[in-house]
Structure formats: structure tokens, C-alpha cells
Amino acid sequence: MRLEQLQAFLAIAETGSFQQAARRGGVTQSTISRQIQALEADVGLELFHRTSQAKLTLAGERLLPRVRRICLEWQTATEEIADLLAGKQPELCIAAIHSLCAYYLPPVLQKFCHDYPDVQLRVTSLGSDRALKVLKDGLVDLAIVMHNRLLTANKEMVVKVLYNEPIEVLIAANHPLAQYESIPWSELIRYPQVVFKDGYGMQRLVQDSFERLEATLHAALEVNTLDAFRGVVRQGELVALLPYSALVEARSDATLAVRPLASNDDFLPDSSSLTRSVVMVTTQDRLQIPPIKHFWQLVQEVSGEWGVAL
């Protein structure tokens, strides 16, 4: 049973004529006849009385309402796909890490809303692992996250590296580590840490760094917002390893201090390589949809300004 057979059946039922149905479909009458014969062979009964007017048989009458629904559903589906390809997407859902949402994305969001005023833009701030999961589940269209090759290895995924940035140390202004221009790892590991909750790429990066040192990470507290990091660190001896872009407000806060990690640290000779890579991820099929493609291009155009000299 084929769709064109059902469409031919519906056309004959509505016009009462094989000839008029053929004219409506832009095919020959013999083509229409063959389609109906094939359909009747599939159902095992005749669907029309062959008289001067094509009148439905009992089987045809039973089939008609169902064929109407099938053809209507197909028409609706094709119209929705055509709208999608024409950029008439009702909404665009983005998941991004906190620092992007706070500082880098707002100009892109404003430009997109200007270019696509009829598309509802929805932005959710999530940890990298969670953002990639909701992308894979189809709950968002695009994610901007800390790179995780294990979660983006699927061949359907399209990954664009946006920028790399160093990891730095956030401390209270009166913290003992504030005396250093750049903080040695041998000193850093002596203090309890504030870390991101599970599901955030930064938590994994910090944990991996301590494992390379064969040191114990004393994670005294887990939080998931930049405000919480600043508020907790401001109170005392807790320290936090955070990416450069997450420390914008902290740099202008007199109660806090930001220090780089020592790059010539004998305790961890390759400590200068402690950076994170921020990437934009979507799927191959989504990049064919105009609003998603446009957002992707907007981010690429401005992301060169986001990078940090390493």
C-alpha cells in the first residue's frame, strides 16, 4: 500500500470520477486505474462500483474516513517540514555554560532576536555534561559547553571550537595565597576547595588535575553558580579553580583576588597547560534549519573576541 494509491482513492471518492481524479492529480486515467487496482489487491476487495459514476462499495465506505485522516496527516507533516526549512521554527532552544550566559552571549541573543523576531529564543544555563545530554535527547537545538570528547564523539555531532582560556585561582583578598603573583600548586593543594557540582566539566578538570599530582582534593563545598563561588570564597580560606571568563566580576571586587597558576612549577611542570576549551555543538540535521544555522554563524562571528591570549 502506497501513499499515492491512497491519494488516488481519495480523489476518486471526492470527485466521483476516475477521469476527474486523474486530472486533479496531473496523471493519466490509466495510472489512476492501476493505483486503485493495486490498492484493491492489497485490501482484497473492490473499492468502487465501475459504473458511469465511481461509487464506493461497502469496503470503500469503510476505508474512506481512515484514508482521509492519513492523507490529512501527511499534508500536515509536509507543511510543517516546509515551514521548518523556510525558517518558520516556533522556538530555538540553547543550553550554555554559566559564564557564557552571563558575559558573552547577550549581544548574540539580541542580534538573533532582531534577525528572527518570530522565533522564541530559550536559553538555559547548564553544566557541560548536562547540556550535552539534553542536546542528545533533543530537548535543545544547540549547546555551548566545555569540550568533552567522550560526549561529542558521535558522528552526528558537529563540534566547533570557539576559544581556549586559562584556569585561575579565586581567593579572598586577605587569603594567605594572595601574597603570590602566581600560585604554586604545592601551596594551592593545602587549602580546601569550592567546586562545581557533579555534571560540570570544571569539576572533572579540577579532579583530574589533583589526580595527576597524586594529591587529595578536599572539596569542602559544591555549588553551581558564580555568585555562590564569590560569596563563599569571600568568607575565608576556601579557594576555587575557575576559568578566566567566570572571573569577570571577581576582578573588580575589592574583597576578592584572582591569581594565575604558576607556569614554572616544579611540583607540576606542565601546569601551564591547565586550560579549558569551549565548543559549540549541534547535530548535522539541525544545521540545515535556517534559525539554528544563523545562530551558529552569529556565535562564530563574535567568538574570536571571546578568546584569551594564552
Residue position matching grid coordinates 492501476: 34
Indicate the pTM of the whole model. Answer: 0.73
36 plus 132 within the same structural domain: no
pLDDT in tens, 255-308: 999 999 987 655 555 544 588 999 999 999 999 899 999 999 999 998 877 765
Whether 284 is covered by a domain: the verdict is: no
172 plus 268 within the same structural domain: yes
Per-chain mean pLDDT for the chain: 88
Query: What is the predicted pLDDT for the residue at 273?
Result: 59
pLDDT in tens, 134-159: 999 999 999 999 988 777 778 889 99
Quote the CA–CA distance of 288 and 37 in Å, as a whole number: 40
Q: Which residue segment(s) compose the domain that 192 sits in?
A: 164-276
Indicate which CATH number applies to the domain containing 96: 3.40.190.10
Whether 310 is covered by a domain: the verdict is: no
96 plus 123 within the same structural domain: yes
pLDDT in tens, 163-191: 999 999 999 999 999 999 999 999 999 99
67 plus 15 within the same structural domain: yes
Contact 123, 142 (CB under 8 A): no
104 plus 243 within the same structural domain: no
Quote the CA–CA distance of 216 and 186 in Å, as a whole number: 12
Residue position matching grid coordinates 486503485: 36
> At residue 254, what are phi and psi to the nearest 5 degrees?
-65, -20
Domain count, the chain: 3
- The helix or strand, by DSSP H or E, that contains position 81, with its residue range, turns out to be helix 58-85
169 plus 233 within the same structural domain: yes
